[in-house]
Amino acid sequence: MTKTDRKNKDGDDALDIMDKRFAKSVDAEALHEKFSEDAEVAEMLFATRQAAGLTQKQLAKLVGTTQQVISQLEDADYDGHSMSMNRRIAHALNRRVEIRLVPLRSQVRRA
């Protein structure tokens, strides 16, 4: 599934919809960042599974979980991401989990 496959009938993706709904919110930037990160992880898991030529059910069997769990992890709206499950998936796909801290657009506040 590509990013264009995840658009609604108006051509908006999830981040566009969130921008429209919460653009005036004080927490809009933080909310947008969270959804961006969730979407990035979901897209990465989906793309890596697809590249390995596996169905959700096949990956679930390799990991020792259910197809439903894999489906939830590939859904950017799912809030229960678990590092231990991500590690199990990475191992099943002959990968390792790498966590990066990247600079924010704005400067970090000093205490």
**pLDDT tens, 82-103?**
778 888 888 999 998 887 767 7
Do 3 and 43 contact (CB within 8 A), yes or no? yes
Write out pLDDT tens, residues 41-75. Answer: 888 889 999 999 999 999 999 999 999 999 998 88
| Per-residue pLDDT tens digits for 6-20 | 555 666 777 677 666
- Domains of the chain by residue range: 12-92
Does the predicted TM-score (pTM) go above 0.75?
Answer: no
Q: What percent of the chain has pLDDT over 70?
A: 65
Considering Cα of 86, then 87, then 89, then 90, what sign does the dihedral take? positive
The correct answer on CATH 3.40.640.10 for the domain covering 12-92 is: no
Distance CA 47, CA 31 (A): 24
Give the DSSP per-residue string, 42-92. HHHHHHHHHHTT--HHHHHHHHTS-HHHHHHHT-TT-----HHHHHHHHHH
